[in-house]
Amino acid sequence: MVNLKKIKDEFLLKLNEKLNLSEINLIKTELFGKNGLVSSEFKKIGTIPEQERKKFASDLNIVKDELQELINSKINEIEISEINEKLKKEKIDVTLPERSFVQGKIHPVSQTIDEISSIFSEIGFNVEEGPDVENEYNNFTALNTPDNHPARDMHDTFYLDKNKEKLLRTHTSPVQIRTMKKDKPPFKIIAPGRTYRSDSDQTHSPMFHQVEGLHIDKDINMSHLKGCLNYFIKEFFEVDKIKMRFRPSHFPFTEPSAEVDIGYEIKDGKIVIGEGDKWLEILGCGMVHPNVLKNVKVNPEKYQGYAFGIGIDRLAMLKYGINDLRSFFECDYRWLNHFGFDPLDVPTNYRGLSR
Ligand code: PHE
């Protein structure tokens, strides 16, 4: 008995000190481990004279329970205080002002491409892509462009080999061919991307951007084309009314063909779209030539439709008041900071395209 009381008192004292988890665990083994003090007492039960045995065992159990409970509650206490400590350290003050981490800006051309894609996807156009390095067939031949056509001229086209088989695409129209070759009609796609022509001045850059549109189905006619472009221009410039005119033109891959101008005026030194008596050409379009459809194994008796090619850079210049095309490609950080867009602000029709 003396032994039991001694153990209890000694450990009550020990457990009252400030302990960490591993110290408690050490005490636990000291008491209840295989050769622990309490465990050894239990082993003695058999050697105790019979009349004392019952009392010894019951006292031992009481001491064991008491110490065990104390140890468990200590462990619990330590664990809770450790969690609290951790929570305190990991606390984030959400009321603190954000650090200005947004360093980059979205280039106005990328922004414009996103806006265009959003506008056309609202009316069922899918976005397609094609490579910048094209073959002569997709860029010219399949598009009904004869061998002697001036567009094939070295002065306009960047050829990549002597045989003039590989080139930098001169327009996004080869994506029409790629799309129609790989799928079955109907087709309703746009294809934004880089295009290249040997041209360079204030309004021409050897690399520029276009977005191609193609809608092929049964019974598609020129009025669909007009309706589609009218919708697009209004959405893009975020205006209710637009002045638009179709001028007869020529492209080998469309018949009839047209160029589209939009009306504008200059008010207080700024371009205002949709009013005034000045005209600006923004795109070429027309009804896809039957030869083009034949080249991609689409039956022109059954299917027909329209195509258009819009110059993206010019649209971006008009919308965002940028007056030198070359500034787009100069990579001037200060320029981008001024004209660029917040990367977290993705343009969508319902939230507003540009804010
Ligand atoms: N590919 C023509 C160009 O680059 C534009 C266009 C596309 C015209 C589709 C008609 C149809 O000028």
**Structure confidence at residue 260 (pLDDT):** 96
Interatomic CA distance for residues 213 and 69, integer angstroms: 78
195 lines ligand 1 (CB under 6 A): no
CB 248 within 8 A of CB 214: no
The atom number, within ligand 1, closest to the CA of 210 reads 4
First to last CA, the chain: 85
What's the pTM value of the predicted model, to 2 decimals?
0.71
CB 189 within 8 A of CB 128: yes
**Structure confidence at residue 100 (pLDDT):** 66
Å from CA of 223 to ligand 1 middle: 18
**Structure confidence at residue 40 (pLDDT):** 87
Å from CA of 211 to ligand 1 middle: 9
Interatomic CA distance for residues 307 and 188, integer angstroms: 10
Query: One digit per residue, pLDDT tens: the chain, 355 residues?
Result: 557 788 888 888 888 888 888 888 888 898 888 888 888 888 888 888 888 888 888 988 988 898 889 888 888 988 898 899 888 888 888 888 777 666 789 999 999 999 999 999 999 999 999 999 999 999 999 999 988 888 788 768 999 999 999 999 999 999 999 999 999 999 999 999 999 998 887 778 899 999 999 999 999 999 999 999 999 999 999 989 899 999 999 999 999 999 999 998 888 877 788 888 899 899 999 999 999 999 999 999 999 999 999 999 999 998 888 888 889 999 898 999 999 998 877 777 666 666 5
DSSP-assigned beta bridge partners for residue 201: 204
Which residue in 311, 309, 318 sits closest to 288, CA to CA?
309
DSSP-assigned beta bridge partners for residue 310: 211, 283
Sign of CA dihedral 166, 171, 175, 176: negative
- Ligand 1 site-directed mutation target among 128, 139, 171, 222, most atoms within 8 Å of CB: 171
Query: Which one-letter amino acid corresponds to residue 92?
Result: I
**Structure confidence at residue 355 (pLDDT):** 52
251 lines ligand 1 (CB under 6 A): yes
Tokens linked to 206 = 């050897």
Q: CB burial class (10 A; 0-12, 13-18, 19+) of residue 267?
A: exposed
Interatomic CA distance for residues 115 and 341, integer angstroms: 12
- Chain centre distance of CA 113: 13
In sequence order, the 6+-apart residues with CB closer than 8 A to the CB of 82 are 21
User: Which helix (H) or strand (E) element contains residue 273?
Assistant: strand 270-273
Interatomic CA distance for residues 227 and 304, integer angstroms: 16
**Structure confidence at residue 168 (pLDDT):** 97
For residue 186, say if its preceding peptide bond is cis, omega within 30 degrees of 0.
yes
Interatomic CA distance for residues 263 and 278, integer angstroms: 6
What is the DSSP code (8-state) at residue 170? Answer: S
Residue corresponding to tokens 């309004």 = 203
What is the DSSP code (8-state) at residue 61? Answer: H
Which residue in 276, 286, 152, 267 sits closest to 228, CA to CA?
286
* CA distance to 197, 266, 321, per residue, from 324 (Å): 18, 17, 9
Query: Which one-letter amino acid corresponds to residue 348?
Result: T
Which residue in 142, 112, 140 sits closest to 292, CA to CA?
142
Interatomic CA distance for residues 189 and 236, integer angstroms: 18
**Structure confidence at residue 93 (pLDDT):** 81
Interatomic CA distance for residues 113 and 345, integer angstroms: 14
Which residue in 315, 297, 327, 311 sits closest to 354, CA to CA?
315
130 lines ligand 1 (CB under 6 A): no
Å from CA of 154 to ligand 1 middle: 19
